[in-house]
Structures are given as structure tokens and as C-alpha cells.
Amino acid sequence: MPYDIPRELMWYRYGSWMMLYGSGGHLVGFSTSRWLSRHDSDTTDTMGLWSRCHDEQCSHLSPNEVPGWLVAVRVLECVGVVLIAMWLLKYLCMKVQTDEPPFKWWTRLTRLEEILAIFLGCITLPAVGVFGVASANDTELKDFSLSWSFWLVVGGASISTLGGFVIAIKRIPAFSAPKPNTRTIGPTGRGRQLEGGANNTRSAQHAVGEAPRRHGDVTNIFNVSAEADYQRGRNSPYCWTDVGHSPPVYSLAVAPGHTVHSGGERNPHPSTQVLDFSFSPPPPYEAVVNELPPPYQALPSAPNLP
């Protein structure tokens, strides 16, 4: 099944749709010959980057008919098309992927989209600006006016660039590690120790400020362990597992919109586990200790939360 973006990362989907639709409009405008048009009583003349048409009969522009400013626009537009092709290749690779990518590749791919979109805007928008100004000042084209192919490129490049900015603006808080507010859960006096039995839930809640737990406030808990959870990009929700058992038995699940950093260490005392958590934003908020889903097996004394 192709990789599906989590609900919390819908901003990425919106930005990708903007880039996809904008790129489609850009390519249509690039390849058609309706950048300029002139309508007489009986005839219609049009001109694009590559051809010129009289009524329905079109011919390629000869080198003698191509002014220097049009050559520059062609070069910039071709570079823009290459950037679009690179983005489409990356987009298709992510759509056909059968498993979630490692976290570092996920962040690199989103950064690549941002860079491609912003470069596309920096290259294409000045190119269409040059085309609009130069064609208006060209004496041979004084009777022509800008037509729909030109505006498709302008709109497509603008939407694609805006989509890249949407991804960039929303990625920064989603993937950056904010400064944590550290709390320790353990037998050191800074919190309560996590032991077997139903007290696990209350201990975790007490350590983060006695936040009441309501059903549905905590989303699914992933069966991954310790710091690999954050590195793999499974950030919905951020989870930290009990490092006192192998495989881990309990996991601290944080409500959506909160972040967990840092790690833990095993307590020499065999009946307890010392976990050092960092929370951002600061507690109190929803936090519970729950069973891990299969394939991990919880201890018989593990709480069975609804």
C-alpha cells in the first residue's frame, strides 16, 4: 500500500497539491503558442516561445525571428521545466513507496520540494516579467497583447512557489526540536517511579501535572523503542518506551501537538525503571502509560486502558 501522509502532516499534502496543479498549468502554458495574440477582422495571429501561428497554420520561429530577450526567456523557462520534472520524479517516488521512509529522508525530501519550488519561482517569474515588458516594447509586436498561455505560466509558477512556501513554513515547527522542559520519572524524588500494576497510569499523570485522561485524547501508540521513534519520523504521536525491558513493555504516549525528547536509563533496581523525559510544550497535558500493540507482549500486570 503506498505511503499515506499522517493527518497531522496534511499541510504537506496541501502544498504538494498546489505544486502539482501549478506545475500542470505551467507545462501547458510553456508548450502552447498563445503567449501573444492579435485579432483582426478576419484573422488571428498568435505567438509562443517556439512557434508563430496565422489562423490555424503554425510554423516554428526561425533563428532570425528570435530576438535576444526571447532567447533568455526560453533558457529560463527550460530550466523551470527541468525543476518541475525533478519535483514530479520525487513526487512519484514517494507515491509508489510501499513503506514509510526513514525520518532523515522524509525531511530531506520536503526540503528538496521547498528548494525546487522556490527556485522555480525565482527563475520563472522574472522570465515572464521580461517577456511581458520586452514584448510590449518590441515594435514588431506592438499590435499583440498577452494571451492565456502567458497567464497560465504566471499562475502556475505562482501557485507552485506558494505551495513550496506552505511546505517550508509548516515543516519548520513540525520537524524542528524545540527546547524541552525536562521532567524525570523515577525513584530520585523528582517524580514517581514506574512500577508494574495500575499505578503506572497515575504515576505518569502525576509526573506531568495530574492531567486528567479523557478517552480519545491520545492517539495510537507505535511499537517502536526509545530514540528511534523520533529519528524515524513517527511523530503522531511522539512516544517513549519503557527501556527497562527488552522488548519494551510500556510506552508513554503524548497527546497530538506535543513533543517528547531525550531518553532514559535502566535503574539498577530490577523492579523499577528510571525514565528521563523532556516535554514540549511544558506539562500539564495528556500523558498515559499504555500497553504496546502487537508484536510486543505486555506484562500480565500492565494496565488495560480503554
Kindly tell me the sign of the dihedral angle through the C-alpha atoms of 102, 106, 112, 113. Answer: positive
Is the pLDDT score of 91 beyond 90?
A: no
Integer Cα distance of 39 and 46 in angstroms: 9
Cβ–Cβ < 8 Å for 168, 114: yes
The CATH number of the domain where 163 resides is what?
1.20.140.150
Residue % of the chain over a pLDDT of 90: 16
Residue with the bigger pLDDT between 50 and 293: it is 50
**What DSSP designation does 64 have?**
G
250 located within any domain = yes
User: Per-residue confidence at 133, pLDDT binned at 50, 70, 90?
Assistant: very high
Residue with the bigger pLDDT between 98 and 142: it is 142
Predicted pLDDT at 74:
92
Same domain, 273 and 258: yes
Same domain, 57 and 135: yes
Q: Which residues on neighbouring strands pair with residue 47, listed in sequence order?
A: 36, 52
In degrees and rounded to multiples of 5, residue 83 shows phi and psi of -65, -40
Is the pLDDT score of 234 beyond 60?
A: no
Kindly tell me the sign of the dihedral angle through the C-alpha atoms of 85, 79, 103, 216. Answer: negative
Pick the last residue of a domain from 175, 193, 210. 175
Is the pLDDT score of 15 beyond 70?
A: yes
User: Per-residue confidence at 141, pLDDT binned at 50, 70, 90?
Assistant: confident
Residue with the bigger pLDDT between 60 and 290: it is 60
Q: Which grid coordinates are listed for 69?
A: 530577450
Task: Please state which of the ranges 33-37, 47-51, 95-99 shows the lowest mean pLDDT.
Answer: 95-99
Is the pLDDT score of 82 beyond 80?
A: yes
138 located within any domain = yes
- Given the DSSP bridges, would you call strands 181-185 and 145-146 parallel, antiparallel or unpaired? unpaired
Predicted pLDDT at 195:
30
Is the pLDDT score of 10 beyond 60?
A: yes
Q: Which grid coordinates are listed for 277?
A: 523525559
296 located within any domain = no
Domain enclosing residue 264, as ranges: 181-291
Pick the last residue of a domain from 175, 201, 229. 175
Q: What is the pTM of this model?
A: 0.53
Q: What is the mean pLDDT of the chain?
A: 60
Pick the last residue of a domain from 143, 175, 207. 175
256 located within any domain = yes
30 located within any domain = yes
The tens digit of pLDDT for each residue in 143-201 reads 889 999 999 999 999 999 998 888 777 665 544 433 333 333 332 222 232 332 222 33
Please tell me the total count of domains within the chain: 2
306 located within any domain = no
Residue % of the chain over a pLDDT of 70: 47
Cβ–Cβ < 8 Å for 302, 250: yes
Predicted pLDDT at 40:
80
Is the pLDDT score of 297 beyond 50?
A: no
Same domain, 27 and 79: yes
Same domain, 152 and 206: no
| Type of residue numbered 174 | A
Is the pLDDT score of 238 beyond 50?
A: no
Predicted pLDDT at 1:
35
142 located within any domain = yes
Of 39, 69, 41, nearest to 53 (Cα)?
39
